[in-house]
Amino acid sequence: MKKVFFLLALTFICSVLYSQQFSPGEKAMLDEALLLRANPNRIENISRILNLMRNMGIPDMNKDGNIDCIDYSILFRTLYGSNARIIINNNPISGMNHMFIRIWYNDAGHTRIMDIEPQGTPDRYSMGLIWGMRYDPNYNRDVTSHWGQYTGGMY
């Protein structure tokens, strides 16, 4: 029932948005966001999400006056779906204090984990690749229960 209500609300919002004057590029980005939301939790959407985020800009998702890793992570999870977990890595040794996304997915019957830098590019987003030795997964902590509230309560 909750999902049906959300889809009805989303349809209403989209009709209102489409009645506004948007450029063809803005309408294309809105269409892409709606398509992603309609097909959640798909590993093949990662590059599409990162590309969309780069093109549309990042809003202040938690209304703290800053655009940072928090906003990127919340927006990524909003577009990807509930299988995207919001993770904080606070490593006192390397000085890393960063929020990112972790996804569990099925690969030929095996559960795999992917740590995603939501500020990465569509072809380069692995936390280990981007952060190198500063990133130590032993310092990861799942904080989705706190920060998930900013994804609109959809998950």
Q: DSSP labels for 16-75?
A: HHHHS---HHHHHHHHHHHHHHHS-S-GGGHHHHHHHHHHH----TT-SS--SHHHHHHH
Tokens describing residue 137: 């997964």
- Low-confidence residues in the chain, pLDDT < 50: 1-8, 155
Residue in the block written with tokens 């506004």: 20
Query: Would you kindly state where each structural domain of the chain is located, as residue ranges?
Result: 39-151
- pLDDT, residue 98, reads 97
- pLDDT, residue 21, reads 64
Tokens describing residue 80: 């990807």
- pLDDT, residue 4, reads 43
- pLDDT, residue 9, reads 52
Q: Which fold has domain 39-151?
A: Beta Polymerase; domain 2 (3.30.460)
Mean pLDDT of the chain: 85
